Amino acid sequence: MTKIVSSWNDWDPLKRVIVGRCDNSVIPPEEPATSEKVPVDSEMRGMWGLRPLETVERGNECLENLVKILEDRGVIVDRPTPLQWNQAIGTPDFRNDSMMTCMPPRDILLTVGNEIMAAANSFRCRYFEYLAYWPLMEQYFEEDPEFKWTQAPRPRLTDKSYKHNYYDEKITLEERLVRTANKDFVTTEVEPMWDAADVMRMGKDLFIQHGLTTNRAAMDWFQRYYPDFRVHAVNFPGDPYPIHIDATFVPLRPGLIINNPHRPLPEEQRAIFEANDWQIVEAAQPAHTEPPALCYSSVWLSMNCLVLDPKTVIVEASEVYQQEQMDKLGMNVIPCDLRDAYPFGGGLHCSTADVYREGDCLDYFP
Ligand code: ABU
């Protein structure tokens, strides 16, 4: 019997992984959920359409760098099948002028043990992105009799799912921070919506960021779906664009987490880590003051690393301060040139989705 799918956390020895592809990637048109993520002064405001071919080719080159590093270390790498993403889509509830990409997989696929679940993303342009991974899911399903292939309840994404004109006025950074602190986000609570990259898996505990892409109803849904797990809602009030936990709060090994110093975990939410002797260390400063052109993400992709095992981590090649810090924290650091893939949706962790890591479901917070 072949066991293909199993992963309970982000640090056990990685044996098989999905790496995204940039082909046919689109800057999506504004829609109720995405307009909130693009900063008002961004060069991407009001712009949509296929991304320039040379950036796609360069992004793919970066992903090939990652594939090579992984394969050289014996990790099996699977790739999605890109669709023609610049097609208009529709359901009975909404129409959208385009899809987006199959980067990054981490937003779409959540692996918990022998189950891979496609997420309930809140962006309309991402509604059909799961299709790029379905050929792989079919293969895993055929080859691994224990694989659980799951799709989370599909959100309808009607106009009721969003607060309209939420940031219509020229909102300042300070005002954004007040909204984050008040847990006042663009999504409503009419249905569970979540991105898989908001979920940090730590054995029996799932820490889930409540922010622009994941709502409270999702936390409730998770707790009912996984009754034997503890689901913790976490917030990072310092983040004006809270999307995805993996450039904010990143475990390196049992007992050690790096936390974005601009987005510290609030005191009351630290208690569970402190009570179990986990160390939360401020992440090193990014090496860059700006993200690359046409990038949605922040400079904190510096800490968006891929842990290969509790002693080994891949860090972006230009992120010298983050590499230095990892080294001091006792990790063997493998640099990978990936910065030109950032515009397609993220860094090393984002660009991947776990298929198989050795190890079992442990209770790290007894
Ligand atoms: N997908 C992770 C992006 C997080 C950030 O922009 O900081």
Decide: 298 in ligand 1 pocket, CB within 6 A. yes
The per-residue pLDDT for 173 is 86
Q: Which of 155-169, 188-202, 206-220, 232-246 has the lowest mean pLDDT?
A: 155-169
Percent of the chain at pLDDT > 90 equals: 89
Residue 363: inside a domain, yes or no?
A: no
Q: What pLDDT is recorded for position 167?
A: 67
Please give the Cα distance from 140 to 82 (Å, whole number).
Answer: 18
Instruction: State the alpha helices, DSSP H only, in the chain.
Output: 53-72, 134-143, 173-181, 216-225, 267-275, 320-328
Closest residue by CA, ligand 1 atom 2: 244
Q: What ipTM, to 2 d.p.?
A: 0.97
Q: At residue 292, does pLDDT exceed 90?
A: yes
Is the beta carbon of 303 within 6 A of some atom in ligand 1? no
If you measure from the C-alpha of residue 347 to the centroid of ligand 1, how many angstroms do you get, rounded to a whole number? Answer: 8
Give the chain's mean pLDDT. 95
Averaged pLDDT for residues 277-301: 96
Residue 118 within a domain = yes
Is the per-residue pLDDT at 41 higher than 80?
Answer: no
Atom of ligand 1 nearest to the CA of 107: 1
Q: What pLDDT, on the 0 to 100 scale, is given for residue 319? A: 98
**Taking 70 as the threshold, does the pLDDT of residue 37 lie above it?**
no
**Contacts of 90 by beta carbon, 8 Å cutoff, 6+ apart:** 96
User: 9 lies in a domain?
Assistant: no
For residue 284, name the pLDDT band (cuts at 50, 70, 90). very high
**Peptide bond before residue 153 is cis, with ω within 30 degrees of 0:** no
Contacts for 108 with CB less than 8 Å, ≥ 6 apart:
102, 118, 119, 121, 126, 129, 130, 133, 195, 196, 353
**249 lies in some domain:** yes
Residue type, 4: I
Ligand 1 pocket: which of 298, 316, 351 to mutate (most atoms within 8 A of CB) = 298
Judge whether 183 lies within some domain. Answer: yes
Domain harbouring 96, CATH code: 3.75.10.10
Residue 25 domain-assigned (yes or no): yes
Is residue 31 in some structural domain? yes
Burial track 150-187 (b if 16+ CB lie within 10 A, e otherwise):
eebeebebeeebbeeebbeeeeeeeebeebbeeeebbb
Number of structural domains found in the chain = 1
Per-residue pLDDT tens digits for 104-148: 999 999 999 999 999 999 999 999 999 999 999 999 999 999 999
Nearest ligand 1 atom to alpha carbon 260: 7
The 3-state DSSP class for residue 327 equals helix
Ligand 1 pocket mutation, candidates 36, 108, 198, 244, criterion most atoms within 8 A of CB: 244
Q: Mean pLDDT across the stretch 348-352? A: 98
In a domain, 55, yes or no: yes
Given this model, what pLDDT does residue 21 score?
A: 98
Range of the structural domain that residue 106 is part of:
14-357
pLDDT digits (tens, 9 = 90+) for 42-100: 666 667 889 999 999 999 999 999 999 999 999 999 999 999 999 999 999 999 999 99
